[in-house]
Structure 1
């Protein structure tokens, strides 16, 4: 991590955790420091396997950063939103429709959520090498720290959990690590993201208090740095939406489409959404830090049929192996389509679209 002499950064003060009585999502919490030894990995692997097969989500602690380090990264995460002029943000807007990449800014009201109401989500996306991209002036003093943050997420969180997932399928430990390189061609990135409340109650009613529609993520794993605004929900196997807890200096890790395809449906890319916070956090903005681990661009999203586990339980394919997209094809198709293309409504809850021959569902 960076040395002790660091550039000053305006402090971001997060809202207080909710005191409301809500329906919390209960799923396993692991101590990631145990993954440093073979014995620890053997202990954690079945816990991670069962959590990612049942829920697709996992709470993580002891990831290697102190509370003070995490707090500073949240201070830095607010800089692209609070310290950058609107004109500079426009100049650094991502070419989302043109390139199928989120690099740069995504402005508020870029997506349609429901009933003609557009989103109130702003984010800034940094490709993992960090220095190969133009960044706002206010963020440039912090780029060495952000690069270290990317490396920490990749090598100290993403890779250890990928090893545990491989062990859960009785595959060699490095199976998924080899598909998710830091230096390889691919779109793994840091996302700094800020949710703003809707401007009026009429819009909240039109979207049924949903700020981001139910969806799965694109890649292998998503790492969310826990923050106190209660708004993230996951769809449980019993069909109920439950709130994800805030774990101080903790992480929430979930499976994406790519890992579900690699595992032949064994690991679940769980549906999750963001909704209006509880009453005592109403009106608060929600600042998030994410690390989206996507496979290398040229990797074909087909099941590892040599897995002894999959040979026992069977494989559920989303499409025939010969028709499976590469990670690049799937990422571009999903990025270009989300919030920007027409969906076919199947019932009061589910909407569908077909991308690269794969049926993708959205949950309203």
Structure 2
């Protein structure tokens, strides 16, 4: 099996640590994001009680009748708020949709689930805590890049971040699936960074530099954090948006649901993703055209089938 640098870091070392601990944290996260694009983070502000309540609430929503869930599917929003039903999203260049349905909430204008009074409150609290943790992680990344620590702050406060609750639904007859159908096809995330709160089952895998797939597992209340395409573009590939996927379980486990809740930290739509000047040199020529975060998001939503 490939050796891959996915360190476990304590966010308290950065938010409450000494100058030396803060420096070590920013260097460690930068090194991992440069090599593999993934880290595991402890002490991120989410406790076990809230995580358990989140998953209990999310499972209750997806257990609602299909007709009830469809009330919250909002045409014209490209899945950016409310419910997105089965068969809608696919990985870029994939031939078939992922085996999932999901719910997304943002900063505001979120539909309220009448059937579950606690749903909006619980997902809102999780959103706020993960946004806070994400902003601290971006400060550490800015320090690693020798930028002002607050470089990302004005760009992400009241940005387009999304909390996504995913249900990888049961498959009673795996033989009926298209040949390439998987829970989440190989892809890279669109945003700056993603914070993933565990999952109810294994399945997340990262593509290593030698072309093999490596399983990523967070333990207890740890979260998995990875680089998205926007941060990769901004740093001209210095920080890696690594390809990852969620594989199907063994056949006998396909009848069991899998739940997952990632937080996609997005900036405001007008943030420029033009590569930072100091990330461009003779050995690293500019790799991407200049676009804004909003323009890039629009492009990617079309590629994955959520926007026409």
* Fold in common (TM above 0.5): yes
Alignment of 1:192 with 2:165, yes or no, is yes
Question: Is 2:232 aligned against 1:260?
Answer: yes
**Once structures 1 and 2 are overlaid, which stretch shifts more, 157-166 or 193-202?**
193-202
Q: What residue in structure 1 maps to residue 85 of structure 2?
A: 107
Contact 2:165–2:260 (Cα < 8 Å) also in 1 = yes
Kept in 2, the 8 Å contact 1:108–1:120? The answer is yes
> TM-score, length-normalised on structure 1?
0.76
Q: Structure 2 regions of 5+ residues with no counterpart?
A: none
Q: Deviations over 1:210-256 (max 9, x none)?
A: 32211111110111001241111110111101111132111000110
- TM-score when normalising by structure 2: 0.89
Pair 1:56–1:274, CA change in 2 (3 A) = same
Paired residues, what number? Answer: 305
Contact in 2 for aligned 1:99/1:332 (Cα 8 Å): no
Preserved CA contact (<8 Å) 2:90 2:97:
yes
1:34 matched to 2:6: no
Answering whether residue 253 of structure 2 is matched by residue 284 of structure 1, we say no
Structure 1 stretch 110-119 or stretch 34-43: which is displaced more?
110-119
Question: Do the aligned residues in 1 keep the contact of 2:90 with 2:185 (CA within 8 Å)?
Answer: no
Instruction: Give the conservation status (yes or no) of the 8 Å contact 1:210–1:276.
Output: yes
- Which residue number corresponds to residue 338 of structure 1? 304
- Structure 2 vs 1, CA of residues 164 and 123 (structure 1 numbering), >3 Å: closer, same or farther? same
Verify the 8 A CA contact 2:164 2:262 in the aligned structure 1: yes
Matches within 5 A, 1:37-52: 37=17, 38-52=19-33
- 2 CA distance for matches of 1:44 and 1:115? 37
1:80 is aligned to 61
Contact 1:102 1:335 in 2 (8 A): no
Contact kept in structure 2, 1:261 and 1:317, CA below 8 Å: no
CA distance 1:111–1:313, change in 2 (3 Å): same
Report the secondary structure of 2:121's partner residue. Answer: helix
Please tell me whether residue 121 in structure 1 is matched to residue 100 in structure 2. yes
Distance, in Å, in 2 between the alignment partners of 1:312 and 1:174 is 25
Q: 2:198 aligns with which of 226, 230, 245?
A: 226
Name the SS of the counterpart of 1:210 in structure 2.
coil
Which sits farther off after the overlay, 32-41 or 267-276?
32-41
Moved more, 100-109 or 276-285: 276-285
Correspondence 1:143 to 2:117: no
Aligned counterparts of 1:115 and 1:123: Cα–Cα separation in 2: 18
Q: Secondary structure at the match of 1:140?
A: coil
Q: Name the residue aligned to 1:56.
A: 37
Distance (whole Å) between structure 1 residues aligned to residue 60 and residue 182 of structure 2? 26
Tell me the distance in 2 between the aligned counterparts of 1:177 and 1:280: 46
Q: Which runs of 5+ in 1 are unaligned?
A: 1-21, 343-364
Answer whether contact 2:96 2:178 (CA < 8 A) is retained.
Answer: no
Partners of 1:227 and 1:288 within 8 A in 2: yes
2:73 is equivalent to residue 93 of structure 1? yes
Aligned 8 A contact 1:218 1:258 in 2: yes
Contact 1:105 1:125 in 2 (8 A): yes
Instruction: Indicate whether 1:317 and 2:286 are aligned.
Output: yes
Superimposed CA distance per residue, residues 320-342 of structure 1 (whole angstroms, 9 cap, x where no aligned partner): 3xxx2211111122112204799
Residue 78 of structure 1 deviates from its aligned partner by 1.7
SS in 2 for 1:137: coil
